[in-house]
Amino acid sequence: MPAYICVTCGVQFAPTSEPPARCPICEDERQYVHPDGQQWTTLDALRASHKNVVKKEEENLYSINTEPKFGIGQRAFLIRTGAGNVLWDCVGLIDDPTIAKIKELGGIDEIAISHPHYYTAMVEWSRAFGGAPIHLHDAERPWVMRPDPCIHFWSGEERALRGGLKLVRTGGHFEGYQILHWPAGAGGKGALMAGDQPQICMDPKQVSFMYSYPNYIPLNATQIRRVVERLDPLPFDRIYGAFFVRGKGIVPTQGKEVVLRSADRYLRAIRG
Ligand SMILES: [Zn+2]
Ligand SMILES: [Zn+2]
């Protein structure tokens, strides 16, 4: 039985003989159903029409991007540490050339994904790399469309991964939203692997925070303050976002100042 993939958000469902009736992730107010109605594809079809591009971003960091754009259009990252490799976020396509390229870079030992919009084909990625554990926050359990023993739910506010990497739950965009802190990133100054939140703006000196990006639903002041409180203690200079905004999708330096300044501006804007 095929494991159908939602064309709009890229999430893969548990195998079924017929396509699922609906995609709860797209029907949620943070996303949207395909303008022509709910549509499905399969990994085999995707392999015939798309490819992944693996690109070095800095020492020990590689982005993985599907071309042409598929689903939401986010990228994933492979982070190499002295203690093994971590895949941060995920994409819907995994194929033999991608697996070969990543094996050359040392493979994948652990997987962590910021939030359900990027769960995509995470179980396929885990299986391709020996059942690498996938770390998700427990609050997002209802959004897992393909349950699997490789998925490990954690609860609380922080979860250490290998090589000094750390997941921090910030809430906001999703209740169990998690960022990945990479202390060795940005040449040792630290990098924030942010996914969707904070979202890097067209002006890379600004970031933003939304409940829904496609539907422009803001977060409230309490949620914004909580995100900032969780990020502020982390040492980081650079921010890597989920998209190639203006071809890059990074805040190259002074990321902490950018987050604090942007949050302050946001709070002033919604105070009324
Ligand atoms: Zn969907
Ligand atoms: Zn999102």
DSSP code string of the chain: ----EETTT-PBPPP-SS--S--HHHHSTTS---TTS--EE-HHHHHHH-EEEEEEEETTEEEEEEES--TT---EEEEEETTEEEEES--S---HHHHHHHHHTT--SEEE-SSGGG-TTHHHHHHHTTT--EEEEGGGGGG-SS--TTEEEE-SSEEE-GGG-EEEE--SSSTT-EEEEETTTGGGT-EEEEETSSEE-SSTT-EE-EEETTTTEEPPHHHHHHHHHHHTTS--SEEEESS-GGGT-EE-S-HHHHHHHHHHHHHHHHH-
The Å distance, Cα 187 to ligand 2 centre, comes to 28
Instruction: Dig out the tokens for 203 from the structure.
Output: 């002006």
pLDDT tens-digit series, residues 144-202: 999 999 999 999 999 999 999 999 999 999 999 999 999 999 999 999 999 999 999 99
For the CA of 114, the nearest ligand:
2
Q: Domain coordinates of the chain in residue numbers?
A: 5-271
For the CA of 143, the nearest ligand:
1
Q: What is the pLDDT of residue 151?
A: 98
Q: What is the pLDDT of residue 246?
A: 78
pLDDT tens-digit series, residues 232-266: 999 999 999 999 887 789 999 999 999 999 999 99
Q: Rounded to an integer, what distance in angstroms lies between the CA atom of residue 1 and that of residue 17?
A: 5
For the CA of 10, the nearest ligand:
1
Q: Rounded to an integer, what distance in angstroms lies between the CA atom of residue 144 and that of residue 121?
A: 11
Q: What is the pLDDT of residue 229?
A: 98
Ranking 43-57, 107-121, 122-136, 245-259 by mean pLDDT, the lowest is 245-259
The Å distance, Cα 117 to ligand 2 centre, comes to 5
pLDDT tens-digit series, residues 2-55: 999 999 999 999 999 999 999 999 999 999 999 899 999 999 999 999 999 999
The Å distance, Cα 8 to ligand 1 centre, comes to 5
CATH of 5-271, one of 3.60.15.10, 3.30.420.10, 3.40.50.300, 3.30.360.10: 3.60.15.10
pLDDT for 272 beyond 80: no
Q: What is the pLDDT of residue 245?
A: 80
Q: What is the pLDDT of residue 158?
A: 98
Cβ-proximal residues to 267 (8 Å cutoff; 6+ apart), any chain: 221, 224, 225
Q: What is the pLDDT of residue 247?
A: 77
The Å distance, Cα 154 to ligand 2 centre, comes to 20
Q: What is the pLDDT of residue 157?
A: 98
pLDDT for 73 beyond 80: yes
pTM equals 0.97
pLDDT for 57 beyond 80: yes
The Å distance, Cα 196 to ligand 1 centre, comes to 17
Ion ligand 1: residues, CB within 5 A, are 6, 8-9, 23, 25-26
